[in-house]
Amino acid sequence: METKEFKAESKRLLEMMINSIYTHKEIFLRELISNASDAMDKLYFKSLTDTSVGMKREEFRILITPDSKARTLTIADNGIGMTAEELEANLGTIAKSGSLSFKKDNELGEDVNIIGQFGVGFYSAFMVASAVTVTSKAYGANKAYRWASSGTDGYTMEECEKETAGTEIVLQLKENADEEDYDKYTQEYELKNLVKKYSDYIRYPIQMEMDKYEYDEEKKESVPHRELTTLNSMVPIWKKNKSELKAEDYQTFYKDTYYDYETPLAYIHAKNEGTATYNALLFIPAKAPFDYYSKEFEKGLTLYSSGVMIMEKCADLLPDYFSFVRGLVDSEDLSLNISREMLQHDRQLKIIAKNIEKSIKNELTKMRDNRREDYEKFFQAFGLQLKFGVYQSYGMNKDALKDLLMFTSSFENKLVTLAEYVSRMKEDQKFIYYASGDSVARLEMLPQTEMVREKGYEILYLTDNVDEFAIKMLMEYDSKQFKSVTAGDLDLGTEEEKEEIKKTAEDSKDMFAFMKETLGDKITEVRVSSRLKTHPVCITSEGEISVEMEKILNEMPQTGANGEKVEAKKVLELNAAHPVFEKLKTLYASDKDKLAAYTKLLYSQALLIEGVNLENPSEFSSLMADLMANA
Ligand code: ADP
């Protein structure tokens, strides 16, 4: 018989499986059972519209048959089966597995991630088997085929006999080795446990012939007899009574279903009757999946209609800002054969989605109030998404989300909610102050914050790009306006101080005009600062766009290099109490060239403090060098 070669990618995955040191090799059984269950789903679906299938729901089953003498394990299903072409296409190549392209440079042995994160399907059989034979007959076909492979050399295909539709997979188990005992996969007890552990909610019976003990009156002892036993409980967890379930049951379900080894931060088991009847099981993960903040990520809940899955990821059930939620909804109100397009307009679905949104918000609120540490963990992972949610759709959802937000505070560098901030505002404090920049460390050193701190006011440090945009969208919280410490008038000083500043400004009017002239369009104004205490200079902004926003917007592809530059209206603020200010005044009277040079220096310094790149760093450097040489 001709041996055919595997496609290159398949060969790599296969190699990985054969040489796997993965400690949970046992997952191969889960993978094969899932495939079998999928195949039965397909035939069952077909039977709903095609009466000639002639199979009833309760006739579908998966049969597991171990043979300890031959050291084989057989997994058989009576699902839709595969044609010769499908056998080749599905088992000879990995068509859609993203696993390999994701971890191209994975070295053999370093396979924990790939297996843990994706589940690798059929090929996982090679973690425990030295040879695999797949006999399959597609539903409606006359002929059956056998696919066989003992590893990377390739596979063979031949026609064979099989009476009914379905697939039978025979694993020839590997020889036992020091690190792994493969015999255990022929032990009934072990297999039963594995099915319970991984495949308990498979909706078809998973059966195995096992010893059943019965008391023999004559022999006066329990004697075994062989009996076909169903190993899984089949009832999906979400259909069970909440009182029957422990937190652990939900956690195990979550981990097995979503291949996440971390315990979820919260779960919601909702049972609803009334305008919409449904069961929902929702989870809030502890960590964002690696692709969460990428275009590739697909949100959605699995949708079931009376226990039968009708859509893997129903996006309409989750608003974007809660896209991190994983879980499922099971509703008898939805028809099995509903199409994607119809679903979008389904009234029931909309009601369910609204309810679910409420449940999620309640759960998060509860976590925020009662489990602060967990909430902070949640916010580290998904806070960004909530902030996007505030900003998107012109702030349509800001009111729903504002109380879920947290920002780092200048008080102890801890995350605070807006309510907490407002509750401890000083009596004379009018605004909610914030500073925005690359990092907390940087913001702490920002000269513009000096006065605000001196007053004992708390400052929110905004370090994510979206933060300031979200804040601008919120505009206010609890009737308190937000105010950037680096923008506009902070309105901090006493009447006396304000008067003083006004006077200095008046006296220095001409000098400021000269300095503004020197810097040209780079700034809109030179001004006496009311926010600086020890630093001589800073940049602030006037109007809608802050210096930080300018930086962010110009780094974005659509505005940045290809499009128009966005510009903040910058103001150069000088500290009149700083010795440098006196120096400037002297120079204005005696040496305007030097004043011009100092103006440029001060402007560059202010930009550097702000974390903005200098347009002309070498000019800055030579001005500095001149200054040193003449000092
Ligand atoms: P996945 O299940 O992720 O698609 P697998 O490698 O496990 O990847 O399986 C590849 C394909 O082979 C499946 O999508 C399915 O079409 C087919 N297949 C696997 N096992 C069976 C089976 N028992 N019955 C019918 N088709 C199967």
C-alpha distance from residue 177 to each of 24, 29, 74, 172, 173 (Å): 15, 20, 22, 15, 12
**Reduced to 3 states, what is the DSSP secondary structure of residue 252?**
helix
Q: What's the pLDDT tens digit per position in 433-444? A: 999 998 999 898
Ligand 1, atom 1, lies closest to the CA of 121
Computed from CA positions of residues 360, 365, 368, 370, in that sequence, does the dihedral angle turn out positive or negative? Answer: negative
For range 538-547, the mean pLDDT: 88
pLDDT value for 93:
65
Whether residue 97 has pLDDT greater than 80 = no
**Reduced to 3 states, what is the DSSP secondary structure of residue 398?**
helix
132 C-alpha to ligand 1 centroid (Å): 14
pLDDT value for 334:
77
Find out whether the beta carbon of 39 lies less than 6 Å from any atom of ligand 1.
yes
Phi/psi region, residue 413 (left: phi>0; alpha: psi -120 to 50; beta: rest), is left
Name the helix (H) or strand (E) containing 224: strand 221-230
Place of tokens 């009156």: 217
**Reduced to 3 states, what is the DSSP secondary structure of residue 222?**
strand
Strand partners, 487: 541
Name the helix (H) or strand (E) containing 413: none
Half-sphere exposure for 319 (CA within 13 Å, toward CB): 22
> What spatial distance separates the first Cα and last Cα of the chain, rounded to whole Å?
91
- Which of 544, 429, 416, 517 has the alpha carbon at shortest distance from 480? 429
User: What number does the ligand 1 atom closest to the CA of 42 have?
Assistant: 25
38 C-alpha to ligand 1 centroid (Å): 8
- Pairing relationship of beta strands 206-216 and 525-528 according to DSSP bridges: unpaired
User: What number does the ligand 1 atom closest to the CA of 94 have?
Assistant: 6
Whether residue 291 has pLDDT greater than 80 = yes
Domains of the chain, earliest start first: 2-213+222-230 (3.30.565.10), 237-375 (3.30.230.80), 405-484 (3.40.50.11260), 495-629 (1.20.120.790)
- In eight-state DSSP terms, residue 310 is E
Here the tokens at position 273 are 């009757």
94 C-alpha to ligand 1 centroid (Å): 10
Strand partners, 480: 477
Ligand 1, atom 4, lies closest to the CA of 121
Helical ranges in 230-346 per DSSP H: 247-258, 340-344
> 74, 90, 199: which to mutate for ligand 1, most atoms within 8 A of CB?
90
pLDDT value for 564:
72
122 C-alpha to ligand 1 centroid (Å): 7
Q: Average pLDDT over the chain, rounded to whole?
A: 89
In the chain, the amino acid numbered 239 is: K
With vertex at residue 353, the alpha carbon angle to CA 350 and CA 357, rounded to the nearest 5 degrees, is: 145
**Reduced to 3 states, what is the DSSP secondary structure of residue 335?**
coil
For range 425-437, the mean pLDDT: 93
With vertex at residue 625, the alpha carbon angle to CA 624 and CA 628, rounded to the nearest 5 degrees, is: 90
Please report, rounded to a whole number, the percentage of residues in the chain having pLDDT higher than 70.
Answer: 93
If you count DSSP H runs as helices and E runs as strands, how many of each does the chain have, helices first?
A: 21, 22
Q: What's the pLDDT tens digit per position in 141-194? A: 999 999 999 988 889 999 999 999 999 999 999 999 888 899 999 999 999 999
Whether residue 353 has pLDDT greater than 60 = yes
Find out whether the beta carbon of 121 lies less than 6 Å from any atom of ligand 1.
yes
pLDDT value for 94:
52
Whether residue 206 has pLDDT greater than 90 = yes
How many residues would you count in the chain? 631
Total Cβ atoms within 10 A of residue 156: 15
Strand partners, 460: 409, 434
Structural contact between residues 420 and 386, judged by C-beta atoms closer than 8 angstroms:
no
Ligand 1, atom 8, lies closest to the CA of 121
Q: What's the pLDDT tens digit per position in 305-322? A: 776 667 778 999 999 999
Whether residue 482 has pLDDT greater than 90 = yes
Strand partners, 328: 281, 302
User: What number does the ligand 1 atom closest to the CA of 80 have?
Assistant: 25
User: What number does the ligand 1 atom closest to the CA of 119 have?
Assistant: 3
Structural contact between residues 486 and 446, judged by C-beta atoms closer than 8 angstroms:
yes
Place of tokens 């994706």: 118
Out of 185-199, 288-302, 335-349, 420-434, least confident range: 335-349
What b/e string do you get for 420-429 counting C-beta neighbours within 10 Å, with b at 16 or more? ebbeebeeeb
90 C-alpha to ligand 1 centroid (Å): 6
- In eight-state DSSP terms, residue 312 is E
Provide the pLDDT confidence category of residue 554 given band limits of 50, 70 and 90. confident
> 83, 115, 122: which to mutate for ligand 1, most atoms within 8 A of CB?
122
Name the helix (H) or strand (E) containing 329: strand 326-330
**CA–CA separation, 321 and 393 (whole Å):** 11
Find out whether the beta carbon of 82 lies less than 6 Å from any atom of ligand 1.
yes
**CA–CA separation, 130 and 150 (whole Å):** 6
Ligand 1, atom 12, lies closest to the CA of 90
For range 528-548, the mean pLDDT: 90
For range 198-220, the mean pLDDT: 88
- Which of 1, 263, 326, 320 has the alpha carbon at shortest distance from 157? 1
Find out whether the beta carbon of 327 lies less than 6 Å from any atom of ligand 1.
no
Whether residue 108 has pLDDT greater than 50 = no
pLDDT value for 9:
77
User: What number does the ligand 1 atom closest to the CA of 166 have?
Assistant: 24
Place of tokens 């792994």: 180
Find out whether the beta carbon of 35 lies less than 6 Å from any atom of ligand 1.
yes
Ligand 1, atom 17, lies closest to the CA of 90
What b/e string do you get for 107-124 counting C-beta neighbours within 10 Å, with b at 16 or more? eeeebeebbebeebbbbb
Whether residue 339 has pLDDT greater than 80 = no
Find out whether the beta carbon of 36 lies less than 6 Å from any atom of ligand 1.
yes
Out of 41-55, 109-123, 356-370, 394-408, least confident range: 109-123
DSSP string, 515-549: HHHHHGGG-SEEEE-SS-SS-SEEEEEESS--HHH
Whether residue 111 has pLDDT greater than 60 = no
- Which of 151, 159, 146, 147 has the alpha carbon at shortest distance from 131? 151
Whether residue 556 has pLDDT greater than 80 = no
Half-sphere exposure for 46 (CA within 13 Å, toward CB): 16
Find out whether the beta carbon of 77 lies less than 6 Å from any atom of ligand 1.
yes
- Which of 65, 28, 12, 14 has the alpha carbon at shortest distance from 180? 28
34 C-alpha to ligand 1 centroid (Å): 9
Find out whether the beta carbon of 76 lies less than 6 Å from any atom of ligand 1.
no
Ligand 1, atom 10, lies closest to the CA of 90
For range 354-373, the mean pLDDT: 97
More confident residue, 404 or 338: 404
**CA–CA separation, 150 and 2 (whole Å):** 14
Structural contact between residues 40 and 78, judged by C-beta atoms closer than 8 angstroms:
yes
Ligand 1, atom 13, lies closest to the CA of 90
pLDDT value for 24:
77
Structural contact between residues 460 and 486, judged by C-beta atoms closer than 8 angstroms:
no
Ligand 1, atom 7, lies closest to the CA of 121
Find out whether the beta carbon of 206 lies less than 6 Å from any atom of ligand 1.
no
With vertex at residue 241, the alpha carbon angle to CA 237 and CA 246, rounded to the nearest 5 degrees, is: 70
User: What number does the ligand 1 atom closest to the CA of 79 have?
Assistant: 24
Ligand 1, atom 3, lies closest to the CA of 121
Please report, rounded to a whole number, the percentage of residues in the chain having pLDDT higher than 90.
Answer: 62
Query: Quick one: how far is CA 523 from the chain centroid?
Result: 41
**CA–CA separation, 258 and 254 (whole Å):** 6
Structural contact between residues 6 and 143, judged by C-beta atoms closer than 8 angstroms:
no
pLDDT value for 431:
94
Helical ranges in 445-487 per DSSP H: 450-454, 467-474
For range 411-425, the mean pLDDT: 95
Here the tokens at position 29 are 């059984």
Structural contact between residues 400 and 361, judged by C-beta atoms closer than 8 angstroms:
yes
User: What number does the ligand 1 atom closest to the CA of 121 have?
Assistant: 7
Backbone angles phi, psi at 579, to 5 degrees: -55, -30
345 C-alpha to ligand 1 centroid (Å): 32
pLDDT value for 555:
79
153 C-alpha to ligand 1 centroid (Å): 21
